[in-house]
Structure 1
C-alpha cells in the first residue's frame, strides 16, 4: 500500500519589520504583523509534522520599530528573535535588507538560527554567494526531501546607495534560477523543489501580457513559464496577494506587513521509495482584527516596542499653520504647502534651487501643530538620502511627462488616476512634484506632450539648459522608470537620512510657518 503524506509550506514575505499589530500611526489592533501571524503559524504547524516555514525577504526594514531599532543601542534585533522563536527554516534576502548597509545584514544573519539564502547575491571577488548557500535541503519527519532555492531581484543596484552594496554582484535572477534548478534536479535526489524568489511578476498571470516595463526587476512570469522542475514558486516584492496553481506549479505572494500567511499543501504518495506529488493547493490565510496576538512574540519585542513608542512621541517642532493632508488626489493637482515644505528642506540642505519630491503614500497625515517623530516617520516612510544631479532641460521635461502619466481622463472627462499607477502595485511615490521651476500639465493632451508650460526664473527652459536638481537617492538612480536620471553627473550626495534632515530642520526652525505659493498646476 502506498504511503500517503501531506507537505505544508508556510510562507511570509515583505513583513517590513512589523511585529506588533500596528503601523504606529493609529489603531494598535490592526490586521497585520508577525505577532498575529505567529498565532496562525503555530496553529498550522500543529496540523502536520511535515511543515516548512520560509520567509521571502524584506523583513528587517520598513516599520518605525525597525527604524528605531537600527538607530538604537539594543543588542538584539527583535524581528530576528521572533523568527528564531518561530523556528523559521530559511530566510531569503529582499532588496530592502540592504537599506541600512551590509553591517545590518551581517548582524541579522549572524543572529539567525536559520540559514539565509540568495543564490544570486555574490561576492564580487569570489563570485560566491555572500550570505549562506544558494539552496538548502530539508528532510521532513516522513522522509520527504525538499530543496529550497533562494533568489533575489537583481535590480537592487538601480535603487540602493553604492556604499550599501560595495563588493556585491547581483547576477540575473532568472538565469541563476534556471542554472540552480537544473543543478538540483541533476545532482540532488529531492522529492520537492521550492523556489523562493524575492521578486514579482512582470506579466499578467492569465493573459501573459506585460503589466510593467520589462526592466528585469520582476521575472516571476519567466521563471514560472520557462523553467521546468519547479514545484512551488514563492514570490513577493510587489505586495500582491496571489495564491493559485499555474503551469502545474503552486504560486504564492502573501501581501505586505504580515497581513496574510501563504500556505501550499502538497499531497504525496510513496511507492518503491519514490515520492510522487499527486495534488497541489495554494491559499492565503488572512490575519484579522480577531486574530489573537502571540504573547511569546509580543514579549520578545516588548522592549523595542516600548522604546519605539517613546521615541515616536518625542516632540521635534511646531507648525504654525496647516500642512495636513486631507485629500491626496487634490494635493497632486497643484502646489501644496506640505510638498513645498519638503522641497524647501531639500533645497536648503543641498544648496540648490530646484527640488522634487513625492507624497509617498496616500495615508500620509502631513503636519499641524506640535510635530513628533511619529508624524515625521508617518509622512516620510522610506530611508532615503539626497542626491544632486546635473540635468538638462530635456531631462526635466521628460521627467515631468512621466509624472504626468499618473493621470488620465475618465468617461465623464474628469481627472482620475492612471491604473498603471495602481496595479499590480500602488505606486504613488512615482509621481513627483517640483519646486524652483514653474510648469503646467494638461492631461487632455497625449501622453508625452502634456507639459504645456515650463519656466525657470521666468524664462522658458530650453532643451540644453543645465540645472542642478536635488532628489532622493531612489529617484536619482532612475527608480520608478525615470531612466532620464540614470548615469547623470552627480554633483553632491547628502548621506544623512531624510527623516534625520527633517528633525534637524525643526531643530534649527522650532516654529515652521507654511508657505502658500503655486508653481505648478494640473488641469484637464
Structure 2
C-alpha cells in the first residue's frame, strides 16, 4: 500500500516495433505473439486501474513488415498505419529510430505530421536552422498536478554510416552522448524536474553487469557512458533488440526487445517530503505480450490495409526450376547456396558489374520454393536496401573478406562454428558477407585477419592497388556493420530501386529461374 504522501507512476514503452501492428507472421501467415494491437489492450487495462501512466515509443516504428512495405509502395498518400495505431493507443511521445529514415524524409515528416503526440529529438539537427529538425529536445509531463517529469529524446548518431545520403540530406547528427551531457544539467537547472528520463534509440556498448566492452566503441551504442552522466534517473534504450533490465551508476536501465513481442514497464514511486517530491523507488520489467488478446479497435482500423497487403503478398511473381530452399542457414553461409547465387545475379544484372556482395539476412530466411510469391520475396529480403557500385582497391576487398571471415571460429573438437559475438548480445548474421565474381578460401584455422587465401578475379590474383567495381547494398556500402573499408570510396553508380523491386523485376524478365551453384568460395579449417 502506498502512503497518502506517495505517488506511483507507471511508464510503458515500446521500442523497435518495426511495423508490427497485427498479430501475424507475414512469412507464414500464422498467428504471431506480438504487435501493437496486443500492446493496446495492455495500455487500456493499465490505464483503467492506474491514475498516472506515461506511454512512450523509442523508435524504429515505421519500417520492418510487408504491411509497411506495401503501404509505402502503393498507399503512401493515405495515413500511416503505424501512426494511426499509436494515435489510437494515445501515446505521450515518440523518439526517432535509425530505420525511420529508410523510406526518406518525406515519409518520416508525413508520419510526424500525422502524429497526435510529439516526437522528441535532441540531436538530429537541421543544417539550415541549426535547430532540432523533428521535434523538441525534451518534453515535460506533469503527474499528480505537481510532479514534474522531464523526457529527453536522442537517437544513435551512427545513422550516416548506414543510411542512403539522399535520405538524410540537410541533416546533422550530433553525438548522442555529448548531447545528453549538455542537456541533462540544462534541463535540471531550467525545469527543476522531479524525474529525468532519457529515451535513447541506441543500446549498450558494455555488459551492464560486468562493465566489459562488448563491441567496438564506434559510437553506435553509448548507453553505458550515458549512465555516467549525473542527473539521469531512467534510461530507456533500444536498437539492439535485446531484453534486459538493471542499474548502471544508479540509473535504472531497460530494453524491451523488438517486433512488439514485449514492452517495458517501469514503476516509479515518489515520496512527498518537505523539500518536494523525491524518487523513493524505481523498478523495471520486460513484459511479454504473447497471452494478450489484440485490441479489436486496432484490428478494425488496420483491416483495409492489412487485406490489401495479404492480397499483394499472395501474388506469384515467378518460378524456380530446381531447389532454392534453405534448410540450414549455417550451411547456406559455409557452402555456396543457390538462393545466395540468385541474389548475386539480381544485383549484378541491375548494376551491370561482375563482382557482387550479399548476405543471408537472418536465420529465418527459407529461400524460394518452386512458385515464388511476394510473400516469399519480402520474407527473405525484409530491408528496403538499394544498391551501390563502389570502386574498390584489392586491399579493400581483402580487408572486407577478412572481416567477414571473423564470423567463424573453431570449437574444441576443431569443428567450424559461428563466432558467439555474432549471436550475442545481438544476432548479427547479416554482417557475414559472401562474394560473387571472385574466388577465395576462408581458412578458419588461421588467426582472424589472416584467413583469406587464394583470392582471385578471372583466375588471376587480386592485386592490392588495382581497382575493381563491386555492387553491394547501400547499408554495407556506407560502412554499415563496421565495414569501414567501404566508407568514402568512389561511387560509380547508384541503383535507386530497392531489393524487393529488383527481385520482382528479375522474375518479370525471366519468369522461371534455374537454381544454380557456382562454387567460387570455400570455408575450411586446415
TM-score for both structures, normalised by structure 2: 0.98
Q: Residue in 2 aligned with 1:124?
A: 127
Q: Tell me, what secondary structure is at the counterpart of 2:508?
A: helix
* 1:337-352 → structure 2 map (5 Å cutoff): 337-352=338-353
Return the offset for 1:46.
2.4
Q: C-alpha displacement at 1:41, in angstroms? A: 1.9
Q: CA deviation at 1:246?
A: 2.8
Structure-1 separation of matches of 2:23 and 2:416: 36
Deviation (angstroms), 1:273: 6.3
Contact 2:208 2:246 in 1 (8 A): no
2:94 is equivalent to residue 91 of structure 1 = yes
Matching residue of 1:490: 491
- Contact residue 7 and residue 144 of structure 2 kept, 8 A: no
Shift in Å, 1:152 = 0.4
Shift, 1:338, TM fit:
0.7
Aligned-pair distance for 1:102?
0.5
Q: Which runs of 4+ in 1 moved over 4 A?
A: none
Residue equivalent to 1:171 = 174
> Whole-Å Cα distance in 2 between the matches of residues 119 and 196 of structure 1?
10
CA shift, 1:142, in A, is 4.5
2:226 to 204, 207, 223: 223
1:321 corresponds to: 322
Counterpart of 1:79? 82
User: 1:493, CA displacement in angstroms?
Assistant: 0.6
Choose from 276, 279, 285 the match for 1:277: 279
- Are 2:9 and 2:269, in contact at CA under 8 Å, matched by a contact in 1? yes
Write out aligned runs for 1:47-196 (5 A).
Answer: 47-73=49-75, 75-196=78-199
Unpaired segments ≥5 residues, structure 1: none
- Asked whether the 8 Å contact 1:389–1:491 carries over to 2, the reply is yes
C-alpha distance in 2 between matches for 1:48 and 1:245: 25
Residue number among 222, 229, 236 corresponding to 1:234 in the alignment: 236
Secondary structure at 1:46 match in 2:
helix
TM-score in terms of structure 1 length:
0.98
Distance 1:40 1:252 in 2: 19
2:384 equivalent to 1:377: no
Q: Is the 8 A contact 1:2 1:269 kept in 2?
A: no
Q: Secondary structure at the match of 1:71?
A: helix
Deviation at 1:272, TM superposition (A): 3.3
Deviation at 1:320, TM superposition (A): 1.3
Question: Does the aligned pair in 2 maintain the 1:243–1:262 contact within 8 Å?
Answer: no
What do the CA deviations read for 1:320-367 (whole angstroms, capped 9, x no partner)?
111111111011112111111110111111111100100001111101
Provide the rounded CA distance (Å) in 2 between the counterparts of 1:208 and 1:31.
Answer: 32
Structure 1 residue 171, shift from structure 2 partner: 0.5
Partner of residue 11, structure 2: 9
Quote how far apart the aligned CAs of 1:27 are: 4.9
Aligned residues of 1:245 and 1:282 also touching (Cα < 8 A): no
Which residue of 44, 47, 61 corresponds with 1:45? 47
